[in-house]
Structure 1
Amino acid sequence: MTVAAMWEARAAAGRGPELAAWVREFALPAVRGAAGLERLELLSATGERVLLITWWTGEPVPVAEPPADLLGRPVHRWSFTSEHVE
């Protein structure tokens, strides 16, 4: 079974690049090499949003909370179970 864990944060006004840098410096190293990690992808979007999607066999490792001053609102997290892949 593959689980996709999505972690999405909206940066405080003007802090999107800093939030993305925090994810690259702290969040990615914390999950890289964890048992069951198959793949990870870091994305950004308008509205100073940063999205980290990780794919796991088994239970996902949680992504840490960034410093509160980087956030425009609380982090959102979702997990999905893979149903079909082509």
Structure 2
Amino acid sequence: MPPVIVRMWEARSRPAVFDEFLAWVCEKAVPEVEGHPQHVSSEVFSSTDHRVVVISRWHRDPLDLPAPPPTLVARSPHVWDFTQVDR
């Protein structure tokens, strides 16, 4: 079995619409990818400086989250993929 790929997606919300942005991530963006057969799991985190991070695990070929509405974000999301290191 190929290694699990962990994708970290991070975006900063506009402060005035943080609650709306977090709801969009939890109710629209994450559910859109969770049904994919390669998806293993997802977790959503928020910070006090209006950032939202999604950590998702995939058997292979992670899907991108949909692009957030421009009115909700302060800048474009950043994405990184990781695999576990044997040590």
Q: Which residue of structure 2 lines up, in the alignment, with residue 29 of structure 1?
A: 31
Identity %: 35
TM-score scaled by length of structure 1: 0.91
Flag structure 1 segments of 5+ consecutive residues without an equivalent: none
Q: Which runs of 4+ in 1 moved over 3 A?
A: none
* 3-state SS in 1 of match to 2:45: strand
Label 1:17 to 1:84 Cα distance change in 2 as closer, same or farther (>3 A).
farther
Q: Which residue of structure 1 lines up, in the alignment, with residue 51 of structure 2?
A: 49
Q: Name the CA distance, whole Å, in 1 between partners of 2:63 and 2:86.
A: 22
**How many angstroms does 1:12 deviate by?**
0.8
Q: Please give the per-residue CA displacement for 1:13-44, whole angstroms capped at 9, x wherever unaligned.
A: 22211111001121112111211111110110
Q: Name the CA distance, whole Å, in 2 between partners of 1:56 and 1:72.
A: 28
Q: Which residue of structure 1 lines up, in the alignment, with residue 68 of structure 2?
A: 66
TM-score scaled by length of structure 2: 0.90
Flag structure 2 segments of 5+ consecutive residues without an equivalent: none
* 3-state SS in 1 of match to 2:24: helix
Q: Name the CA distance, whole Å, in 2 between partners of 1:13 and 1:45.
A: 12
Q: Which residue of structure 1 lines up, in the alignment, with residue 42 of structure 2?
A: 40
